[in-house]
Structure 1
């Protein structure tokens, strides 16, 4: 097979539309095509939630990336996991008198001054906390797909509408993106209800593992249930798949955060539709043998 064809085939396997019905082998085997999702980008190999982590995921031929979105004091949407700048930037050094260094207490300009890479390693010194717009542009540049988490929505009233506006402005709410390249997730069911009310075409995922008896209540506005791998079983995945989501297709399951081959094969055997991982190469080898 020619090299170009190999690349195309690889992309097709990793980039399968996770919202389509998966094909599974027997329970003792491995799910044929769960998507591999790079958690906060390729976060085992580059500083999480930075453009470098997106680039690294792309270099590994991983087509799904996950990120976290929060809001600065002056209303800029930025990509960062914690509600404080302390762990993944040099905010303590640059702004020593402003503990506890909450994202919401800093302007976009102040946040843009921070080094978000040196904590990970000297090779990434000078990496910045990206705006959501910059992050979307980079994901689009690589023709990747995005699992976007609305982080701490209780801290940022109206953030759902702002996120949808940025997504719209950047061309992410057209049919091509909505059908297979975008999922908005949150631990907050209320936040997902807001997203669904404002833009019903957006597919959403609820983080966590609600009780099986409670799953049906989410089916009106949630397309995926995304639990920790420690909360999963074949029976639980089957219970989710038995329900129809708001877009007329079976609800799906993305499991997090899976960083070893044994666990990857286990959750794939349960029938999950996606595996969220810091180590996409490890999971890919475990599930696809390359």
Structure 2
């Protein structure tokens, strides 16, 4: 059985300060890492920065996400670059800074998180008029992100929960692969993938039919067998299926046995077979 590609979630967020240069370099040093997954949104000036939450005052397991407050897109770039992440010395990097620190032998999955708004229409398949409006909203930021990625010679895959982001990306370039991130409406995600001829889809781990993971509610999906077999549908259409997010080797093994192409993982070392442990 071919094992799935390992995609380091925010640079293996389980063992390093997420979405930082330090995390990216550490993750890239693991031989098993095929790709790094990172999140981008704009600073106040529009410069793409690498951070997941909209609010700087978020938390992870009781620890403050950063030592700052406010919305990312309302914060000056100079302040963001001095903002410490999760109580460490690591700071929020620009996308350009992170890409410059990563070897081109490791791919980058750039998740387009927000163009600077909380009105995102996550996981929705939009009407033609709404698509045009949302594409225009995303376009300036997406163009900045794509321009920054031009300096990186490794593989780049763009993903987003928002159809507007995928639409703006396809309008901007055809040089890179794209993937919709699926939420509670699996069929909507497949529709978006078809509409923009995306090379992959990124469903949550409990959306993969036939796995034990479907028995537990996760992300936007309730427990129980999914209504759509997204793995079969995507593979029938020639698309890769990269699943998020595995937190232990049992989940990774379950997804590998199902035949997914990639697994977004919080920790390194999950790809080893259970029999090897």
Range of TM-score over shorter length: 0.7 to 0.9
Counterpart CA distance in 2 for 1:288 and 1:71 is: 44
Q: Indicate yes or no: 2:174 matched with 1:200.
A: yes
Residue matched to 1:77 = 48
Q: Which runs of structure 2 are paired with 1:23-38 in the superposition (5 Å)?
A: 25=1, 32-38=2-8
Counterpart CA distance in 2 for 1:252 and 1:51 is: 28
Residue matched to 1:106 = 75
Could you tell me whether the CA contact under 8 Å between 1:264 and 1:287 is conserved in 2?
no
Q: Indicate yes or no: 2:85 matched with 1:116.
A: yes
Give the 3 Å change call, closer, same or farther, for CA 267–109 of structure 1 in structure 2.
same
Q: Indicate yes or no: 2:1 matched with 1:56.
A: no
Residue matched to 1:148 = 110
Misfit runs of 4+, over 6 Å: none
Could you tell me whether the CA contact under 8 Å between 1:57 and 1:63 is conserved in 2?
no
Could you tell me whether the CA contact under 8 Å between 1:212 and 1:239 is conserved in 2?
no
Please give the TM-score of this superposition, normalised by the length of structure 1: 0.73
Q: Secondary structure at the match of 1:257?
A: strand
Counterpart CA distance in 1 for 2:146 and 2:104 is: 21
Q: Which has the higher helix share?
A: 1
Counterpart CA distance in 2 for 1:128 and 1:217 is: 34
Give the 3 Å change call, closer, same or farther, for CA 287–236 of structure 1 in structure 2.
farther
The alpha carbon displacement at 1:216 in A equals 4.8
CA-based RMSD = 2.2
Question: Which region of structure 1 is more displaced relative to structure 2, 36-45 or 232-241?
Answer: 232-241
Question: Where does structure 1 lack aligned partners over 5 or more consecutive residues?
Answer: 1-24, 26-31, 93-100, 119-124, 244-249
Could you tell me whether the CA contact under 8 Å between 1:207 and 1:227 is conserved in 2?
yes
Length, aligned pairs only: 230
Q: Deviation per CA, 1:219-246, whole angstroms, max 9, x where unpaired?
A: 2422111011012115431111111xxx
Please give the TM-score of this superposition, normalised by the length of structure 2: 0.76
Q: Which runs of structure 2 are paired with 1:1-290 in the superposition (5 Å)?
A: 25=1, 32-61=2-31, 62-87=33-58, 88-92=65-69, 101-118=70-87, 125-139=88-102, 141=103, 143-153=105-115, 155=117, 157=138, 158-168=140-150, 170-172=151-153, 177=154, 181-208=155-182, 210-212=185-187, 215-216=190-191, 218-221=193-196, 222-233=198-209, 235-243=229-237, 250-281=238-269, 283-286=270-273, 289=276
Could you tell me whether the CA contact under 8 Å between 1:37 and 1:277 is conserved in 2?
yes
